[in-house]
Amino acid sequence: MAVFPTIEADAYRTVFPAAITPYLTQRAACRPFSRPQQTMNQPRNITYPTAVVILIVALRVAIGWYFFESAQSKNLDRSFSSAGFLSQAKGPLATLYQAPLPDWHGFDRLVSVPRFESPNPHTPGTDEWDAVFREPFSEWQEQIIFDFGRLSQKAAAHFDLSDEQQKRADQIFAFYEGQVFDYLRSNREEIAAYRHELARLRDWQAATSAGDVPYQQDRIVAKEREARVTAAGFTSAIDGIETQLREELTRLASERGALSPLPGNSNPLARFDRFLIVTHFLIGACLVVGFLSRFAAASAGLFLLSVIASQPPWIVGYSTIGYQLVMFIGCLLLVATPSGRWCGIDHFMPTISWCGCCKPKSAQMRTN
């Protein structure tokens, strides 16, 4: 049976002659397959069972509370740093994740280089023996002292030190230069062992069977984790010495009166950590109280997606991301449902009409 387009009764009178208008009007009204058309501004109501509504709202509150608790624990832990997470990133995006990490005076470039340790063949006390002894850390030591010297020059220019203060500043610099040398010399064996283990790790990773043997993968992952912990000990010790140098120079300049503090180096990692804490607080709070719940769920999903992307499952030694994947799917469900309007502040907010500018002309004429 042919389906006729829906035409209003008034339209028949204007298009067709008066003689056949009653017939066409009756034919259009009695079509068995005709349906009332839905206008663009007519709402589509989807009914959810009560149990589904309760479970989705509970899911929203649970995910929000997880983010809020995570932000609170990070904020209370003054030693919190995302350096560990960023340094463990793998895959094609690893460079992007590791960009905010500090340089630590070129530690990765100068120390984190595989090197097999061998006995020193020279006579102890000679220059040759001392050169071989200092070889595991000599380049890093030179870079640290160079950076400390630039810091002292910056302090002298920033505080406008007098001649007497400049002499004392030189003495402070010499003292901490000795501190660096003493630390590196006393930890020479640990640094050499660290580089030796990196060389072993490189050989394990280069083995053709490394990706096929499960226990070999576990050894590689454990060795990488051990190397990161060892490296963090070296860099944190040097960072502590640099902090003491800054405090000494600032204290020296403060003898002349209240001065602005010595500006520090740009630290993208600290800004990233602060951004992470603030966004976790906002996401968690919005999901718990149901305020802008869909936007908050989308933000939480993007964060979880970034965590998942940092550990691609096809890379050898990737970390398990099971619960992040489950939470990510939960966030997608929250984006697709109006959980904030069911139970939350969104219930009291006005509905935003995305099609208000696209009303049919007839509706616009009736409105006017």
Q: What is the pLDDT of residues 94-108, one digit of tens each?
A: 777 777 777 778 888
Give residue-wise pLDDT tens across range 188-217. 999 999 999 888 888 877 775 555 556 677
Distance of alpha carbon 81 from alpha carbon 99, whole angstroms: 14
DSSP conformation class of 322: H
Burial per residue of 205-231, b for 16 or more beta-carbon CB atoms within 10 angstroms, e otherwise: eeeeebeeeeebbebbeebbeebeeeb
Q: What does the longest C-alpha to C-alpha distance in the chain come to?
A: 123
Asked if residue 179 has pLDDT above 90, the reply is yes
Where residue 257 falls (left for φ over 0; alpha for ψ -120 to 50; beta otherwise) is: left
pLDDT at res. 271: 82
Asked if residue 53 has pLDDT above 80, the reply is yes
188-206 helix and 214-253 helix, angle to the nearest 10 degrees = 140
pLDDT at res. 32: 45
Distance of alpha carbon 362 from alpha carbon 368, whole angstroms: 10
Asked if residue 116 has pLDDT above 70, the reply is yes
pLDDT at res. 321: 67
Mean pLDDT within 259-283:
78
Mean pLDDT within 350-368:
46
What are the residue boundaries of the structural domains of the chain, listed by start? 1-33, 50-69+271-348, 103-266
Mean of the per-residue pLDDT values of the chain: 77
**pLDDT band (50, 70, 90) for residue 356:** very low
Mean pLDDT within 113-126:
84
Give residue-wise pLDDT tens across range 3-37. 444 444 444 444 445 544 454 444 444 444 444 45
Asked if residue 39 has pLDDT above 70, the reply is no
334 contacts 59 by C-beta, under 8 angstroms? yes
96-100, 245-249, 276-280, range with the lowest pLDDT: 96-100
Q: Which of 155, 351, 360 is nearest to 254 (CA)?
A: 155
pLDDT at res. 359: 46
Give residue-wise pLDDT tens across range 220-237. 777 877 888 888 888 888
* Cα distance between the two ends of the chain: 40
109 contacts 142 by C-beta, under 8 angstroms? no
Q: What percent of the chain has pLDDT over 90?
A: 22
Query: Which has more pLDDT, 354 or 10?
Result: 10
Beta strands in the chain (DSSP E): none
pLDDT at res. 319: 57
